[in-house]
Structure 1
C-alpha cells in the first residue's frame, strides 16, 4: 500500500483477519428499495375507516398498481378508541371487523384480509403520549375517549407493549411514528392548562433545532425501533420516522427507521411540493437501502396535481422518483382519471425510483428557476436525469455530460421516460425546452468520464455521515445546513475548486466523519483535502479502522492517492471547527475500480 501527498503521512498495514471480519455477512436489509403503497390522509384527512381503506386496497389490486409495487395500505391517525391495560381498543364504529365475539377488539382481521389480497398493512402511532389529531383536530369525531390516561394512545412509556400488540398480535408490516406528542403538548398549551392533557416538555421546538432535545428524541425512536425488532423476530417490519425534519432528525434517523420525513406535511400546491422536495434534495448522502429520505406522501391526483394539471403531476412524480423517495399514493383511486393513472403507473419512472443501486439523485446545478438532478443507476454509465422548471415561464435548460460524470465524446443516448422519445446526444450537452412547471425525466446511457472510475455521485448510497460535526445555530428545514453534500458546501453554495464547481467533491462540516463502503471494489482512491476558510486544520484518513494519513489542510491543493486494494471501508475525518472554519472540502474524489469489479 502506497500513499502520495505533500503532508505528514502515516503508513499502516491491515491484517487479512480484519478484512475478513469486515466482509462478514450482513443482516437482512428492510426496505432495500423505497417503500410503495397508499395512505388515506391526503385524500380523506381523518374522515375514513375500514370501508374506505378496503375499497382502495381492492383498486390497488384490480388496477395492477399492486403488481407495480404499490403494496402497502397504511392506516393513519384516528383508529383508536382508548388505551386499556395491555392493549389499545379499536374504534369499531369505523373498523367493524375489529369487534370480536368475546367483546375485545383487534385489527388482526383487517390485516389478515389485506395479506390474503397479497398486500401489506401499515399502522400509525406517535412517539409521545398523545397524537397529532388530539392537538390539531379537536373537533374530529374520531378522537380517543375516556380519562386523561386512557386518551394517551401514543407509544411513550409503552414501547415493548405496543410493538408486541401491533406486530405480533395484529401482524402489521409497517408503522408511521409521528411526533406531535413530543412537540405540541408543552405546559403553556391551553388544553394542557385546563387538564385535558398532561404536559410533555417539548423535545421538538418547531423550526428551532438548536433549542430542541435531539438526543432524547433520538433515544425515544431508538427504543421504539429496538422494541419492534425484538417483538417481530424473523420479520422486518418498516419503521417510518415522522419528525418533519425537526431536531436534526434527518442527520440520525437512518439508524432507527427505514424512512424519515424531511419536512412538515405536504399540501396539494406547487409551492408546498417544491418545499418538501427541497427538504430532501440536498440529502443524497443520507439515503440508501434501508434508510430513505421521505418528503411525504404523493399528492399526484390532488389539487394542483389533479387530472387538469398533468404537467405538474408528472413533475411531482419525476422528482420523487429521482430522489428515490417512498412512493406512497395519497389520492382517491376511485376518482382517478386515466391521465393520473398513467402517471402513477409509469413503469419506467417507477423503475428509476426502485433502482437496485439505491442511490438518491444528486443536485447538479441550480440557476434561477432551473434545476438539474442526476441519479446513478445500477448499470455503469446509466443515469436518470431530471431537468426541472420550478417557475411560471418557459425556459431552456441544459447540462453538460461532463457535469454528470459522463464522457462528452462517447456515444450517448437518452430516452424521455414520459414521451418515450429517444435520441442521440450531440456536442456533449443535453438541452431541453421546458414549459412552466415542467420536469423532463431522461434515462441517459453513456460511458463514465474516466474508464473504471467512480465519483461520489455514482455511489451516494455507500456513504454514511457517521459524526455530524459543526451545525449552524440558525439552521431550519427551510434554511438548511446539510452536514455533507456532493458538489455543494453545507450552507448550500456551490463547492468551487480552482474557479469551477467541483461535481466530484464533497462539501462537509468541520468535525464531520464520513464512512464510505468500498466493499473491496477499488484499487485506489484519490482526493484533495482543503479548508474552506483561512485557518489550517488537521484531518485524518482511515481505511478499515487503521489510520493511513494524518495531515494539515489549508486552502492550497494537497492531492492524496491511497492504494486500497481489498479494503472494505474508507473514513474521512474533517478538521474540528477553529478560527471561523466551519466547512471543509474533500475535493475531486475518485474511486478507481479493481479489474474484477469493472462492469
Structure 2
C-alpha cells in the first residue's frame, strides 16, 4: 500500500520556519543548538523491518536478548527500538488516549506489571541487558483527545485549546491532527508526553511522518526531551526535505533522508525479503546530496541496515557488503532491521567487522567522486590523513572500478598502501586506486600514503573491458581488454583472453601476452566480435575477459564480464522518447522497451515510451498485448500512456497511464489537476502474462480495461480528464520503479484507431 503524500503550503511552511527561528538550508550548521548532541552515529536494532505490525513484549525482549548474546553489543549495537503499533489504535478516530490525551499502550501486546506500564516493563528488561531502549511517535495530537477534550497535565488548558483541524501523518493508524504551538498549553502537552516517556526509561525517540509543516512539532519535542533531564536521542523520519536541513540539524540528532528501505514485496504479507537491490541503489544519490549536513551534531540516516538473515535480507552477499560499506562511508546510524534471533553466521561476521564499523564511527561523511552509469565512488579523509574509498560496481557483471589518489585528496607520495577493509589484505599502488569488483559489489579500501614502496605488499593489478561506441542494432562490436599494473613493482608472464557465447566470432590482431608489465604499465588487446543475427527484441550475449600474471611464487587469475545487448531499430510511424535511461526495439509487430526510472507517479515522471504522435482522439480505442514484464519492483509499470505531449515529462497535461504491475495488478493512474503529474489511481486484479490492455476514449472520458485472454475484458476504472486535448500522443510506456535498475517489457499488437 502506498503511503500518502502530504502537500505543504509554502506560506505556512515559511511562517513556521520564522516562528521557530530556523533558517532554510544553506551552509550546514556547525553545531546543533537544541539537539542532544550525538558524538557518533548510533548502532542498534528496530522492530519495523521484520516484526513490523506485531510488536509484543515477548518478541521485543527476544530480539534485545539476541543483540546481547550475539556479541553485537560489544561492537556498539546498544539500542533496541520499538517502532509503530505499540499503542492501541481502534480505527480512523485515532489512537486511544489516557486522561491527558497521550497514546495508550496496547496492554495485550505489552502487559503491565503491577503499577508499571507495559512499555516500561520492556524498557527495564532491555536496560538489565546493558542496552538502551527506543520508542516511536508521530506529530500532533489524537482526534480522540480532541473529541474528549482531555486536560493538559499541569495546566488549565485542554486538547481543544491547542488542536488544529489539519490532518497529521500517522501512516498506519491515522487519526492525528496538528497542534498550534502559538497557543498556551501546546508545549505543556508535549512536555507531559516527554515526561511520561522519560519515566518509562526511553533512551531514543523516533518521530515519524515529519515534514516541513512539522518543524514546530520537532522543536517542541526537542525542548520537551531536554526538560525531562534524561538524555534521549531524537531521530526524525522520513524522506525529509533537504531544503530544511539546517532545521533538522538544529533540532534533532538524526534524520531520515529518504523513504523506507523495505520493499514490502514478500509473498502473502511476509516480511521477507526485507529489501531489494533497487531500494539500496536509490541511496547513492541521497548520500551524495546530504553529505554536507551530517556530523558531528547529528547524522544523515539512510534507514535500516538489512543485514543478518542471509538470503532473506533480499540482497546477495556482495550487495550486503555494499549496503554496509555505503552506510559506513556516509556515517549513517546503523540500525538493524533483521531477525536477530536467527542470525546468519556470515552476516554476523559482516556486522562485527570492526574495520568497517570504524569507518562509520569516525562520524565523517563521504563525498561522491564518481557518478557513473555502472559505478559509484565515494571517499572521505580521516583525521590521521588516510582516505577511505568505496569503489562500487552497480552493473550486473564484474567490472573494474578506478579512481586516483589525487581525486581522493591525498598528497603526492612514493607509494600508497591499499588495505581492503573486507578481506583485510594489503596491496600497494603508485597512485591509481582500482579494483575488479563483483556485480553489485564494493571494494572498500583504507589508502595510506607512504614515503617508500610498501614492504611485503603485492602490486594492485586490475583488468578492464572497454566497448567502442556502436549503433545499438549493430552485430559487429569492438572491445578492448586492459590488464594494468597499478603498483610500484613489476609483474611477469601477463596474458589476456576473451570468451563469448556460441555463435559469436572473436578475433584480435593485438598481442595478448607480455613477459613483463612495468609499474604503471598495461597489456592491452582489442577484439573484434561478430554476433549471430537474432530476431529477439533484445538479444543478450555474455562475454568474459580473463587475465593472469605472476608476482612472487604464484600465478594470479582475474576475470571480468559484461553483457552485450543488441536491439533493432524502431521504424515509422513510431517515435521514441525517454525521461530516464531507456532503449527500444521493434521486430515485426513486437515492440520492446528496456527502461529504468524511479516511478511514474507524483512527484516523479520517469519512463521510456514508443508512441504515435497525435493519434489519440475522441472515439479512439487503443489496445496492446504485454507478453513479458521484468519484476524489478512490485510497482514496476508497463502499459499504455496518453498525454497532450508525451515528450514533456513532468509538465504536459491530459495525462494518464493504464499499466500492469508485477505485484499490484492493473492500474489506471491519472493527473487530476492538470499539473503534468500522475496523482490519482484506480486498481484491480492480479498480474498475469500475457495480458491485454484496452483504453477507450469518449470525449474527455477514458475507460481502462484488462484481459487475460483477449476476450473477456475487466474494467480498471473510468475517469474524466478535462485537460485532454482534442488530439493527444498515445504510446507504450515502461518504468522499472527502481532507480539505476533496467527492466524489460515485451509488447505485441499495439493498435489505435
TM-score of the two chains, using structure 2 as the length reference? 0.47
Instruction: Tell me, in whole angstroms, the C-alpha distance in 2 between the residues paired with 1:154 and 1:318.
Output: 40
Mark the CA change 1:477 to 1:42 in structure 2 (over 3 Å): closer, same or farther.
farther
Instruction: Give the deviation of 1:408 after TM superposition.
Output: 3.5
- Is 1:101 the counterpart of 2:114 in the alignment? yes
Instruction: Tell me, in whole angstroms, the C-alpha distance in 2 between the residues paired with 1:28 and 1:323.
Output: 20
- Is 1:270 the counterpart of 2:277 in the alignment? yes
On the 8 A contact 1:388/1:438 being kept in 2, the answer is yes
Q: Which has the larger radius of gyration?
A: 2
Partner residue of 1:418 out of 413, 418, 422: 422
Matches within 5 A, 1:457-476: none
Partner residue of 1:404 out of 403, 408, 415: 408
Q: Which residue of 1 is the match for residue 43 of structure 2?
A: 36
Instruction: Tell me, in whole angstroms, the C-alpha distance in 2 between the residues paired with 1:236 and 1:63.
Output: 26
- Is 1:347 the counterpart of 2:354 in the alignment? yes
- Is 1:60 the counterpart of 2:74 in the alignment? no
Partner residue of 2:202 out of 169, 172, 177: 172
- Is 1:90 the counterpart of 2:90 in the alignment? no
Instruction: Give the deviation of 1:134 after TM superposition.
Output: 9.0
Q: Deviations over 1:333-364 (max 9, x none)?
A: 12221111111111111111002xx2111111
Instruction: Tell me, in whole angstroms, the C-alpha distance in 2 between the residues paired with 1:133 and 1:221.
Output: 13
- Is 1:226 the counterpart of 2:223 in the alignment? yes
On the 8 A contact 2:138/2:170 being kept in 1, the answer is no
On the 8 A contact 1:399/1:431 being kept in 2, the answer is yes
On the 8 A contact 1:72/1:121 being kept in 2, the answer is yes
Q: Deviations over 1:103-161 (max 9, x none)?
A: x7352222122111110000000013359999654xxxxx69xxx7xx87999953111
Instruction: Give the deviation of 1:410 after TM superposition.
Output: 3.4
Matches within 5 A, 1:275-424: 275-301=282-308, 306=313, 309-355=316-362, 358-379=363-384, 381-424=385-428
Instruction: Tell me, in whole angstroms, the C-alpha distance in 1 between the residues paired with 2:434 and 2:242.
Output: 40
Instruction: Provide the secondary structure at the position in 1 that maps to 2:127.
Output: helix
Partner residue of 2:133 out of 116, 121, 131: 121
On the 8 A contact 1:263/1:477 being kept in 2, the answer is no
Tell me whether 58-67 or 78-87 shows the greater mean CA deviation.
Answer: 78-87
Q: Which residue of 1 is the match for residue 193 of structure 2?
A: 162
Mark the CA change 1:133 to 1:433 in structure 2 (over 3 Å): closer, same or farther.
farther
On the 8 A contact 2:403/2:434 being kept in 1, the answer is yes
On the 8 A contact 1:415/1:442 being kept in 2, the answer is yes
Instruction: Give the deviation of 1:33 after TM superposition.
Output: 0.5
Mark the CA change 1:93 to 1:153 in structure 2 (over 3 Å): closer, same or farther.
farther
Q: Which residue of 2 is the match for residue 534 of structure 1?
A: none
Instruction: Give the deviation of 1:281 after TM superposition.
Output: 2.8
Instruction: Tell me, in whole angstroms, the C-alpha distance in 1 between the residues paired with 2:177 and 2:219.
Output: 20
On the 8 A contact 1:88/1:153 being kept in 2, the answer is no
Instruction: Give the deviation of 1:28 after TM superposition.
Output: 10
Q: Structure 2: state its 5+ residue gaps.
A: 1-29, 89-95, 144-166, 263-274, 452-601, 606-753
Mark the CA change 1:337 to 1:115 in structure 2 (over 3 Å): closer, same or farther.
same
Instruction: Tell me, in whole angstroms, the C-alpha distance in 2 between the residues paired with 1:249 and 1:386.
Output: 28
On the 8 A contact 2:133/2:204 being kept in 1, the answer is yes
Instruction: Give the deviation of 1:54 after TM superposition.
Output: 0.8
Instruction: Give the deviation of 1:324 after TM superposition.
Output: 0.3
Instruction: Tell me, in whole angstroms, the C-alpha distance in 1 between the residues paired with 2:113 and 2:381.
Output: 50
Instruction: Give the deviation of 1:419 after TM superposition.
Output: 0.9
Instruction: Tell me, in whole angstroms, the C-alpha distance in 2 between the residues paired with 1:112 and 1:247.
Output: 37
Instruction: Tell me, in whole angstroms, the C-alpha distance in 2 between the residues paired with 1:237 and 1:128.
Output: 19
Mark the CA change 1:44 to 1:303 in structure 2 (over 3 Å): closer, same or farther.
farther
Instruction: Tell me, in whole angstroms, the C-alpha distance in 1 between the residues paired with 2:343 and 2:127.
Output: 24
On the 8 A contact 1:127/1:155 being kept in 2, the answer is no
Instruction: Give the deviation of 1:89 after TM superposition.
Output: 2.4
Higher relative contact order (Cα pairs below 8 Å, separated by 6+ residues): 1
Q: Which residue of 2 is the match for residue 429 of structure 1?
A: 432
Instruction: Tell me, in whole angstroms, the C-alpha distance in 2 between the residues paired with 1:105 and 1:301.
Output: 31
Instruction: Tell me, in whole angstroms, the C-alpha distance in 2 between the residues paired with 1:80 and 1:57.
Output: 20
Aligned structure 1 segments of 4 or more residues deviating by more than 4 angstroms: 26-29, 130-137, 151-157, 302-305, 476-479
Instruction: Provide the secondary structure at the position in 1 that maps to 2:104.
Output: strand
Q: Structure 1: state its 5+ residue gaps.
A: 1-22, 138-142, 181-203, 205-213, 449-475, 480-599
Mark the CA change 1:153 to 1:163 in structure 2 (over 3 Å): closer, same or farther.
farther
Mark the CA change 1:305 to 1:402 in structure 2 (over 3 Å): closer, same or farther.
farther
TM-score of the two chains, using structure 1 as the length reference? 0.58
On the 8 A contact 2:34/2:222 being kept in 1, the answer is no
On the 8 A contact 1:38/1:70 being kept in 2, the answer is yes
Instruction: Provide the secondary structure at the position in 2 that maps to 1:412.
Output: strand
Instruction: Tell me, in whole angstroms, the C-alpha distance in 2 between the residues paired with 1:341 and 1:154.
Output: 44
Instruction: Give the deviation of 1:411 after TM superposition.
Output: 3.0
Instruction: Tell me, in whole angstroms, the C-alpha distance in 2 between the residues paired with 1:299 and 1:416.
Output: 22
Instruction: Give the deviation of 1:249 after TM superposition.
Output: 4.0
Instruction: Tell me, in whole angstroms, the C-alpha distance in 2 between the residues paired with 1:411 and 1:434.
Output: 22
On the 8 A contact 1:179/1:242 being kept in 2, the answer is yes
Instruction: Give the deviation of 1:319 after TM superposition.
Output: 0.7
